[in-house]
Chain A
Amino acid sequence: NAGVTQTPKFRILKIGQSMTLQCTQDMNHNYMYWYRQDPGMGLKLIYYSVGAGITDKGEVPNGYNVSRSTTEDFPLRLELAAPSQTSVYFCASRTQGAGELFFGEGSRLTVL
């Protein structure tokens, strides 16, 4: 099992550009999450999903969009990138009933 896979690992964007961070998991987990982590800070919840076709906002959803068309995939879309979106983004998943979050390796995004 690969677990949770995120791509790309690193990306530099110019202000105003758009991009999609990909996240896929092969553990058949219903629940998936996107977090961002700024330097020296904890993780902030952006969006989460409890199953295919269902998504909901977290603490810091502005400037982002998500979709969940399959159980495996949970892409995060950044529209009109801004320097404030410079961060490390983590995708995580968990199975129903269990609390442990399984994290991907992270995607480091810089907006210049």
Chain B
Amino acid sequence: QKEVEQNSGPLSVPEGAIASLNCTYSDRGSQSFFWYRQYSGKSPELIMFIYSNGDKEDGRFTAQLNKASQYVSLLIRDSQPSDSATYLCAVGNTGNQFYFGTGTSLTVIP
């Protein structure tokens, strides 16, 4: 079983604050790491992907990967009410399989 774990939350932050979402994974052979956003009743949509150790920034979003600790995180700066959603961490392996965590529910309070 390839496990991907996330804090289920809910996580609440005030508008304009930084939201920090965390994910750990069990398969050391994992090669690719993704953050998806899912609004209620909708399908997941890709926010960020990261393949190498370190930080990757895209606008208000920063993904951080530490393969030695088997840890990946997502920071959302200047959080907006429209960021309120469930964030899913996904991990890909060499076998073309992608495993998802249970998701973290984020609420941004105006």
Residues of B within 8 A of A59 (CB): 1-2, 99
Is A31 located at the chain interface by the 8 A CB criterion? yes
Is A74 located at the chain interface by the 8 A CB criterion? no
Minimal Cβ-Cβ distance residue in B for A101:
B98
Given contacts A42-B103, A59-B99, A101-B98, contact A106 B1 (CB under 8 A): no
The reply to whether B88 and A43 form a contact with Cβ atoms under 8 Å apart is yes
Interface size range on B against A: 20 to 34
Interface size range on A against B: 20 to 34
Binding site for A on B (CB under 8 A): 1-2, 4, 6, 8, 32, 34, 36, 42-46, 49, 51, 88, 90, 92, 96-103
CA distance A58 to B93 in the complex (A): 12
Residues of chain A from 43 to 57 with CB closer than 8 A to chain B in the complex: 43-45, 48, 50
CA distance A106 to B44 in the complex (A): 10
What 0/1 pattern do residues 84 to 112 of A give for CB contact below 8 A with B? Answer: 00000010000000011101111000000
The reply to whether A42 and B88 form a contact with Cβ atoms under 8 Å apart is yes
The reply to whether A45 and B99 form a contact with Cβ atoms under 8 Å apart is yes
Q: Select one of A43, A48, A50 contacting B44, CB under 8 A.
A: A43
The reply to whether B43 and A105 form a contact with Cβ atoms under 8 Å apart is yes
Residues of A within 8 A of B36 (CB): 101
The reply to whether B96 and A41 form a contact with Cβ atoms under 8 Å apart is no
